Each structure stands twice: as C-alpha cells, then as structure tokens.
Structure 1
Amino acid sequence: MTEPTPTGPASPSTGDLVDAIRDAVDVGFPSTVADLANLVRIPSVSWPAFDPEHVATSAEAVAGLLRDTGVFDLVDVRRALVEDGSELGHPAVVASRPARNGRPTVLLYAHHDVQPPGKDEDWDTPPFEPTQRGDRLYGRGAADDKAGVMAHVGAIRAFADAAGDFDLGLAVFVEGEEEWASRSFANFLRENRDHLAADAIIVADSGNWDLETPAITVALRGAVAFNVRIRTLSHASHSGMYGGAVPDAMLAAIRVLDTMWAEDGSVAISGLTSADLVPPAYDEAQLREETGLVDGVSPIGRGSILSRIWAQPAVTVTGIDAPDVANASNTLVPEVRVRISARIAPGQDAGEAYEAIRAHLVENAPFGVQLGFEDVDKGQAFLVDTSGWAVEETRSAMSDAWGRPPVDIGVGGSIPFIAELVEEFPEAQILVTGVEDPDSRAHSPNESLHLGVFKRALLSEALLFARLEARGPSES
C-alpha cells in the first residue's frame, strides 16, 4: 500500500457531501438502531459451553446487512482453522470493494460474538431482549460489540447514500470469536489477506472519554490468563481428624495467591514492568461513580489512578474450582483449580510476563506444594502510532461530529489481535475507536449503549470516509 497524497480534505462546514452525510445519518438512524436490536436478540456467545449455531446465525445476519448496502463486490461468511489446527473457528464475515483512482482503502473491524450473559436475575431486563430506557439501549452485545458492527454498517449506508458512486476502497472483517481469544484470527487474516489489505484499519471495539467527548485509544494492556492446579492430598480427609497437621489445597492456594500483591494491592511480582504514560486528570470520585466501588472500600495500587489502569500490570483471580458453600463438608480439600487473569503494561512481551508470574508462583508455593499450569492464553499489549495521516483525518472527523476534539486514552483491557493485524499488515495505520462510554458496563449485567454516543460515533466514521474520499491519487 502507498500513502495517499492529500488534495484538500472535505470541508465539514460547507461541503455538500458532508451536509448530505449528516442528513443521511439522521434519516437512517432509527433503522440502524432497529437493526442493532435484531442483532442483540441473537445470543451469539462464542464460549464452548454455548450453542455455536447462534454465532453462525449472527454471522449470516451481519453478512445480510453488508450485502444490503450494495457497495461491496464480495460479502461472504467464512471460517478458518484455530492456530493449532485442531478445529475450525467460529464464522466471521468478510467484505471488500477495491479502491479506484488512487484512493486509500480502509479496513473496518468489529466482532459479532458476545460474552455469556451471566445470571438473569442480575439483569434489570432480559439480556437478549433489547430494551430502550431513556437514551440507553440495554442488552448483551448492545455495546460490545454489535454496536461496533452497526456503526460500520450505518456509516457505510450514510456515506453511500450521500456520495452515490465513490472511489474509496472498503474492506470489512467482522469476527465471531473475539470473546473467546480470537483463536482463528491469524489464520483468517492470512487466508483472506487479499480482501483485507488496507492503508488504514479502524478497530471499533473501545470507548469514549464521556458522553460528550470522543476518544482515540492509543494504549492497550496485554493479557495473560492461565489455570493453576494446587494439590496437597491424594484424597479428601476429615478436617477434624487431620486438620492442623495436614495442609489442605485451599490453604495452600490462599497462601500462594496472596504473595502476588503488596499490602496496598499493587502487583508484587518481579519481572512485570510499567509503561511511561501521562494520563489526563481522573480522581477517585470518578472511579467510584464508574465502577460502583462500595462506600468504605478503598482503591488499590499506587500512582495516579489512570496509570494503575492503563500503564501498570494487574493480576486478578477470576475463578476458583472448589466445593461451594452448599456442598461444603468437614473435609480437607485435596485439590483446587484457580484461573488467573493478568493485564500487562504496554511495552512488555506477554510471554515474558507469563514466565515471570509462573516463576513467582512456583517460588512462593508453600509446604512444598507442586503447582500445575494449563490452558495458557497470551495476548500482546499495543501502543498506537498517532503520527500518521489517518489519525489526523480521524481527529478532524471526530471533532466535526462531536463538536469537540477527541482525547487520547489508554484502556486497561486488551485487544490482543491488534498485534496480529500489525504483523500481517505492517504498513497499515491502526485506529482504535469505539461506541462505548464509562457506563456501558461491557461484559457485565445491564450492558448498555448510549444512543447519543452511538450516533456521534457513526457520524464520525461516515465523515472520515468523506475525508478519505477527498484525498487525491497515491504517489508512486
């Protein structure tokens, strides 16, 4: 891919195309929200314990929406082998139309699979029955990331309606297993490279600073997750008969896990690093409001709050397999299995971080306990290069759509596949945007989308298309 030469970007205040795009977004927005609601009704959970047919149904629905835009030469639902070649991954959607007359090509990414809903009783409304209350649409996937899918679809519709025939190249990749580690992602990219190659890539899977301020995500933490088996006995024994002399697995688990944190809750594992980022102001009151931190409970860690979330490592125990309270008997538990999820600061290799955590646990295992490690998942952190022309065009489009310039943010979560995008398309500029806001509660009960944020995000992308369409032929 060669870098396009600008010939004067479209004027957002006077350009006929820009005015027509704004009108098209306004007219089409109710239909876009209705299509989003239809996608939310499909319980496309990609985790192994859930029916994969729902993910297939979701993929076909997304493909239908893209076909109906009428702008693509190719729209198809495809699958690729997972990285170890053991099975096919979930279905993804690929669409493409080539650029003409030297215009750039932009690849639009989102994912149509969702997290499990959790317990129905934790939701105020049914998780797969989209429900609008005020300015928010509630439902699993309403924000993460079916709104990302529909931001792309809505922006394409509005741009095509306003521009008619156009020269901008468009490619779309809507993944079906982002919530289950993107296991076929790399193979899918390689197999469909000719359809997905682009000058710029928009990853619509992040958030915004607040309801009125857009954001470009420039830093993402990496991820390391694995199970640890802790075994002290070959069988359960009576806790009264042998308690006090024989270490049970729960005692050993509590002791070794506790060594991963310092007294203030910061990570205390040698070999994990921090990044040098300068985050904007963000105080404890805002943290409490956005997270629901209970009164009387203090935040953990050290340094500014956003540096703890964006630039420092974090370790969380996300699951424990052990007898529950209802089945608790007076026995010494022989084995415990623990799921550990760590977030890695930008700039550190995920494999290096895993080895540091593993070595720490082995070194600190009490009573001579032997630990077993399994089901290791690793995803790389990412820092966005913000110096390119595509980022500048995106900033301008966001400013026009929102009425204020975007802020650069980090995200404590991870999007590991971005590193794979960079590896496959090293010349492409990466843009990480999104439709979420601090109260979207992605992955949690009562996930929701603010419709005002959604509309402005959609308009931003459509205006970006107009700016890219206005760029002149590429220099050879």
Structure 2
Amino acid sequence: MTPPYDAEQLRARVAEVLPGIRRDLEDLVRIESVSADPARAGEVQRSAEAVRALFEAEGCATEIVSAEGGAPAVIAHKAGPAGSPTVLLYAHHDVQPENDHAEWDSAPFEPTERDGRLYGRGAADDKAGIVAHLAALRIYGDDLPVGVTLFVEGEEEVGSDTLVPLLREHHERLAADVIVIADSGNWDIGVPALTTSLRGLVRVDVEVRTLTHAVHSGMWGGLVPDALMTLSRLIATLHDDTGNVAVEGLVSGPAADVDYPEERLRAESGALPGVHWIGDGSTVERLWTKPALTITGVDAPKVDGASNTLTAAARAKISLRIAPGDTTANALECLRRHLEQHVAWGADLTVSVVDTGEATAIDATGPAYDAARDAFTEAWDGTEPVDMGVGGSIPFIAEFLETFPQASVLVTGVEDPDTRAHGANEGLHLAEFERVVLAEALLLGNLGGRPGR
C-alpha cells in the first residue's frame, strides 16, 4: 500500500512536540493516582482532571465520567473531516502502588532520566500511552485526518470493575471504526509489535481443613493429617513432572513462529543460571498460548515461632492463566473438578473465586491492520512489526471486542522487555517512545487516507 502521508513532515512535527509532551508526561507521573489505595482517591481524581485539561487544550470536547461509584474516566472527542473514520484511542491514568520506596533507585513519583530512560511509577504504564495519544493530536492540530475519541480509564489497575457499565452508558460516544489500545508493548528495543493474543485469568482461594482446631503433633501426629501437608499434596498434583499444568480439559494452542533467544529469556525473566524451564512446547507457546498455573500466596503458620502442633486449616491462592480459545467458565470448572478429585484423606475443601478475565485472540487482518503495519515499519526505519502474544491478561480488551464487534481493535503500547511495569524502577525507553509517537501519527494519517500536516 502506498503511504498517503508525508513521513518526513511528520517526523519533523514529532521532534517539535516531543519536549512539551515529555513535560506533560512528567507532570502526570508526579500525580500519585494509585487506584488501589482509597487514601489516594483524591489523587486519582486530580489525575483525571489533569488529563481532561490536556485534551481540552488541544481543542477536544471533554468530560469526566464514572459509573456505579467507580473511578473517574475521561472521554474527549475531536472531529475529523466529513466522512472520515473515527478512531478511539484508549489508555488509563491510574497506576500500580509503588510499594517499598527503598527498592527504587529514585523517588517513584519524581520522574528521573537515567541512561535514556525516564523512571517513575506510570512513566510507561500507562501515562506514556496517554501522552502518545496527546502527541498525535498535537502533531496534527486542526488538520486531523480522522475523527478521534479519547477514552482514558481510571481503574484499569484494579480490574476495570465499572468498565462495562461505562461502555454501555457511553456506547454511542465511544463507537468507532478502529480502536487503538495503548496498554501493551513492543517485542524488543528496535522491534515493534502488535499484540494479537492475551491469556485469560482465573484466580481462586483454596482452603483445606482437617481439624476443628490445632492439636499437639506428638500426641496426634502419625494418625491425623495436618492441613498444611494436605494442601501441599494437593498443590503438587497441579503440574506433571515436566511442569505442564495437569488440570484436564484446559485449552492449549499454537503460537506465532517467533524466536526468543535463551540469553534474552533468562535475562528478562530473572531466572537463576541453574534453573531449568518447565513444560513442553516452544518457548512462546508456553508463555502465550498454553495454560500456566502459579501459587501466588499461602496462609500457614510462620517458621519463626512455629509450635509443635498439627495445623487445622491452610489456604493458598491459585492463579491460572488460560490460553486464547479457552473460557473462564470452562477453566474454573476444570480446576474445581481437579481439586475435588485430588484432595487427600477426606479433608474439607473450599474453593472461592477471587476474579476472572477472559482470554483474547484477535484476527489481525484487514485494512486497519495493514495501515498499522505500514506505520510501524516506517516509524522503526524498515523493521516490520511482530505479531506477538502476551502471557498476562488484559480482560477489558475482550469487553471492547464484544461491545464494538464491527471495530478493528489494535493493541499496541509503549513498553519494552525492560520496562518493569508494576515493579520498582519502572521506566520508559525515550527513543522507543519517540518511535511510538511517530507510529501513531502515521497510523492516523494512513487511516484517514491523506497527508499529515
């Protein structure tokens, strides 16, 4: 497809707007919009107001909205030429808790540049997504090639509980021909990507009880099973000897033919040199299109101060990532059945659902995806984007696909393998961010079918 834009003109405009865009990003990072912390609800509100002000300054009609007592979201709109398509640009302005400040090399809410990265909570996930959208508007000014609607959510980091009511209530305002979700990442520094699959999530709390109360281990040990040993045996049944998930009935599928070099995999995962990988299949299949099961927490007596007693009850939190093509209903049924069949010694078993999120598989074909691939290839100087999967879950993407079935959904983002989103020292690679901004401007130009300003 012949690009309908002047790429060099857009490159020049990116260079012009980037200093101001970075200042805007740094101002947003300084707002502690931690949606999981009720004490900082005022900061989440302040963040929404700051986002609204930024898009109002670009000539957008803006409004802060919420649903069912949820966190504030921002909807903004700027019209394009008559008859042009409408593009919905999504990001979120809430951030994860910063946790222990001692683990950060600089203050988490004071943006700091080191070695080509801008560090700070939300500097990448996802306030950089917000300002990437802002930059595209600023680049075009009043000469937008398409109509643009912005939807900046305020509770993505706590599960987007009121997203569905928001989408329903504002369905007509948010309807679009193309939806660009800036909450994922690229394959590597210098290699762009479109995310085409994401695993779903089923989380449950499992409690095993063998006694009405703790008893002396010397008097009753050898006859009465303790709950911690029983729970340990149950957990051990969840994987086979190779490390594959042993829960029958879960879906697995093939993954894209993408090379994930051993040295990169070990460096990015933080795996110790002697640790062996688990499971069967290619690396990316195990990371993207096969189920994965993790024990993320255990309630049991601490080692320090433990007494010689048989534990009456023990709990574990199980996090099951499900492959694209599976459903949370099926996965939950399979997991519950497995646990019930494998709990030992007649112990009482309680399985409580914590939360679920559907997996996503995107058919990344058609004109919008062609426009995106051309834009990415141009922005990354001839490097074509990878169609990649993500092992984590972004359940709200399935909600967009269901709510707007006629729209083409493009999942992109600003992150790279060393972004460390959700962890200490979260950082944005500034050179890659410049490419992201250029790619979005090029994409809007491609979708509009006419040159950029």
TM range (shorter): over 0.9
For structure 1, which segment, 447-456 or 35-44, has the greater mean C-alpha deviation from structure 2 after superposition? 35-44
The root-mean-square deviation of aligned C-alpha atoms, in Å, is 1.9
Match of 1:249, as an amino acid?
A: A
Say if 2:415 is the partner of 1:426: no
Deviations, residues 181-205 of structure 1 (Å, cap 9, x unaligned): 1111111001111211000000111
TM-fit CA distance, 1:68? 1.6
Matched pairs, number: 450
1: CA distance, partners of 2:131 / 2:349: 45
Deviations, residues 121-172 of structure 1 (Å, cap 9, x unaligned): 3222232222211111122222211111111112221122xxx333511111
2: CA distance, partners of 1:400 / 1:331: 66
Q: What is the match of residue 217 of structure 2? A: 239
Q: What is the match of residue 3 of structure 1? A: none
Q: What is the match of residue 22 of structure 1? A: 11
Deviations, residues 72-127 of structure 1 (Å, cap 9, x unaligned): 2x21111112xxxxxx2111111123443210000001111122222223222232
Q: Is the 8 A contact 1:95 1:195 kept in 2?
A: no
Q: Is the 8 A contact 2:124 2:414 kept in 1?
A: yes
Q: What is the match of residue 89 of structure 2? A: 108
Say if 2:50 is the partner of 1:52: no
Match of 2:17, as an amino acid?
A: G
2: CA distance, partners of 1:419 / 1:268: 27
In structure 2, do the counterparts of structure 1 residues 54 and 353 end up closer, same or farther at CA, with 3 Å as the change threshold?
A: same
Match of 2:436, as an amino acid?
A: A
For structure 1, which segment, 322-331 or 227-236, has the greater mean C-alpha deviation from structure 2 after superposition? 322-331
Question: Residue 130 of structure 2: which of 149, 167, 177 is its match?
Answer: 149
For structure 1, which segment, 222-231 or 202-211, has the greater mean C-alpha deviation from structure 2 after superposition? 222-231
* Structure 2 gap segments, 5+ residues each: none
Q: Is the 8 A contact 1:283 1:305 kept in 2?
A: no
TM-fit CA distance, 1:50? 5.2
Q: What is the match of residue 76 of structure 1? A: 63
Match of 1:10, as an amino acid?
A: P
In structure 2, do the counterparts of structure 1 residues 111 and 317 end up closer, same or farther at CA, with 3 Å as the change threshold?
A: same
Q: What is the match of residue 348 of structure 1? A: 326
Question: Residue 295 of structure 2: which of 307, 317, 320 is its match?
Answer: 317
SS of the residue corresponding to residue 345 of structure 2 reads helix
1:59-458 aligned at under 5 Å gives the runs 59-70=48-59, 72=60, 74-81=61-68, 88-160=69-141, 164-166=142-144, 168-326=146-304, 328-403=306-381, 404-458=383-437
For structure 1, which segment, 435-444 or 92-101, has the greater mean C-alpha deviation from structure 2 after superposition? 92-101
Match of 2:418, as an amino acid?
A: D
1: CA distance, partners of 2:424 / 2:226: 35
2: CA distance, partners of 1:120 / 1:230: 36
In structure 2, do the counterparts of structure 1 residues 233 and 159 end up closer, same or farther at CA, with 3 Å as the change threshold?
A: farther
Deviations, residues 273-298 of structure 1 (Å, cap 9, x unaligned): 11122331113222101111111111
SS of the residue corresponding to residue 258 of structure 2 reads coil
In structure 2, do the counterparts of structure 1 residues 220 and 322 end up closer, same or farther at CA, with 3 Å as the change threshold?
A: same
In structure 2, do the counterparts of structure 1 residues 334 and 128 end up closer, same or farther at CA, with 3 Å as the change threshold?
A: farther
2: CA distance, partners of 1:375 / 1:59: 31
Deviations, residues 201-249 of structure 1 (Å, cap 9, x unaligned): 0011111111111111111111111222222222233334433333222
TM-fit CA distance, 1:321? 2.6
Match of 1:59, as an amino acid?
A: A
1: CA distance, partners of 2:387 / 2:263: 21
SS of the residue corresponding to residue 463 of structure 1 reads helix
* Structure 1 gap segments, 5+ residues each: 1-5, 82-87
1: CA distance, partners of 2:307 / 2:30: 42
2: CA distance, partners of 1:23 / 1:392: 24
Q: Is the 8 A contact 1:127 1:140 kept in 2?
A: yes
Deviations, residues 332-359 of structure 1 (Å, cap 9, x unaligned): 3322232211111111112111111111
2: CA distance, partners of 1:326 / 1:132: 42
In structure 2, do the counterparts of structure 1 residues 346 and 370 end up closer, same or farther at CA, with 3 Å as the change threshold?
A: same
Match of 2:309, as an amino acid?
A: T
Q: Is the 8 A contact 1:96 1:196 kept in 2?
A: no
Say if 2:35 is the partner of 1:35: no
SS of the residue corresponding to residue 22 of structure 1 reads helix
SS of the residue corresponding to residue 60 of structure 1 reads helix
1: CA distance, partners of 2:268 / 2:327: 30
SS of the residue corresponding to residue 324 of structure 1 reads coil
Match of 1:110, as an amino acid?
A: A
TM-fit CA distance, 1:362? 1.3
Deviations, residues 389-410 of structure 1 (Å, cap 9, x unaligned): 1111011111111112111111
2: CA distance, partners of 1:307 / 1:50: 41
